[in-house]
Structure formats: C-alpha cells, structure tokens
Amino acid sequence: MRIAFQGAPGAYSEAAGLRFKPSAEPMPCKSFEEVFTVVQDKKATHGIVPIENTIGGTIRRNYDLLLRHELPIVGEVHLPVIHNLVVLEGTTLKDIKRVYSHPQALAQCERFLLGLEGVEVIANYDTAGSAKMISESNLRDAAAIASNRSAEVFGLSILKSGVQDFSENITRFLVVSREALTQGKADKTTIAFTVPNEPGALFKALSVFTLRNIDLGKLESRPIPARPWEYLFFADLKTDREDSRCARALMHLAEFAPLVRTLGSYPSWKEPELGE
C-alpha cells in the first residue's frame, strides 16, 4: 500500500497514514489537490487528508476535493496532535523573530503565539515543510510549529513542547482510494446533498434520517460556486449505506433533493489495542 499525503516527511498527515497502515509506503505531495490526483492516476493506492480538528474546526478545502474527485472514502483516522516550537540547536526564545507553520497549526496554538512579544506569525503550506525550511535555510531567528518527528527528521531542537491551546487536540483524517474496499465492516457513511431553496427544505431532508433512527455524526454546509447563498450539505451518518434503513433514507432524500451523492461507507475509527 502506498499512501499519498500533503506535506514533507514528518508531517502529521504522514503519521496519520502510518497509523492507518503501519506497513504502508508514505508518498509526500505538495498540495491536497495532488494527493487526490496521484491516487486517481494510480501512482498511489490511497490518499489521506485532514478533514477536521477539535480546536481549528473543519478543513473545508478537502470537502470540495472529495466532491470534485470520484474517489470513495474507505477509512478514517483520529490522530492526537502535539505541537512543538522547533528551532535550530542553540536558538533561544529571545532570538525568535518569526514563527512559521500551517494555518491550522497556528490557529491551534493561538494563545501561545499571542504571548510571544514582537514575533511575526507567518502561515506556510505545511508544518513539516516549515521545519524543513528552517533547517535548510539555517534560520537562527525563526521557529516552526511542528511535530516531534519533524524535529528529528530535519535535525532541529524542541524549544517548547505541547504549545497547542488545548491538550485534547485531535485531527480526524479521511482515507480515499480508487476502489471502495474497506479494512473492516463499514458503520459510517458520508454523503453530500442539496435541497430546494424553500422554507423547511433542510428540516425535511434531515427528517428522512430521524424517521429511521439514523444518527448524524456531523453536518457541514459549503457555498455552491456561481449560486450565491445556496449551499451544499455534507453529513456523516452512523450506519453502513448497505443497511436497509440507510438505503431507504437515501432513496427518500433523492425524491426531492436535487443532488444526493454517497462519498463513501467505511469503518469508524477505533483506537488500536496495545501491541497492534
């Protein structure tokens, strides 16, 4: 198995991919778009992308890419995220003039960064990429917010560990593949749908699940391009799409929803047992 991820070696996405399949070969990509493209082009068997974080919220760009590319979701991974302030050996807190990292990581460490006086916070494309830049450019007046592994990979020191705003910082990742083959029994389904622009339309859409006692784990809305103030909805259903209740609910929804699309049915994340 080859898993494509966005970022440099040491990125959280790489760690999530290896958590999904420890024996997999990680394949770094420059962008989320490239992750989907290399899977589509059969250069990788799977791709993994972050979809939401317990502090920073939703990574909305990846919902757009899930809809654009016809690659089914085949799994999910929950990764505890510990952010560190990493620097070149010998750099002190007083030396730091700039801090680089991915916008999501910066948002998750907002309180810590606000406490750094006179320090410029700069968004970069990746956490591990920020660590790589500091190492390769020998930046002695800069730091990165990155993982332990990023520090190891690029020969940096951890100046401060656990600088995220909340200790319970978890990112949820989705795994996509060309074929809807899952590792385990599916018990979660992600769908996308639109509703007519009329009173009560969303209530009517959600009622098809309520009537059949199907739990919604998440509901997310995204603007529809070129159609101002109209929205596309993404929902996580806590059931397999092959379950008769789910199949009937989706058929019911399709009777009045202009668009209904199943993005994948897959096993919900379960923490590996010790020794696995």
User: pLDDT tens for residues 90-103?
Assistant: 999 999 999 999 99
Whether 173 is a known active-site residue: answer yes
What SS3 state is found at 186? coil
Whether 209 is a known active-site residue: answer no
Is the pLDDT score of 276 beyond 60? no
- Whole-number average pLDDT of the chain: 94
- Given the residues 20, 112, 173, 233, the one annotated as active site: 173
Least confident among 5-19, 49-63, 262-276: 262-276
pLDDT, average across residues 14-25: 95
- Given the residues 171, 182, 189, 194, the one annotated as active site: 171
User: pLDDT tens for residues 30-66?
Assistant: 999 999 999 999 999 999 999 999 988 899 899 999 9
- Give me the residues paired with residue 87 across strands: 157
DSSP H stretches of helix in 69-200? 103-108, 110-114, 127-136, 148-153
User: pLDDT tens for residues 177-194?
Assistant: 998 888 889 999 999 999
Label residues 250-271 b or e (16+ Cβ within 10 Å = b).
bebbeeebeebbbbbbbbebee
Residues 6+ apart with CB under 8 A from 98: 119, 120, 121, 122, 139, 141, 142, 143
Is the pLDDT score of 274 beyond 60? no
pTM value?
0.90
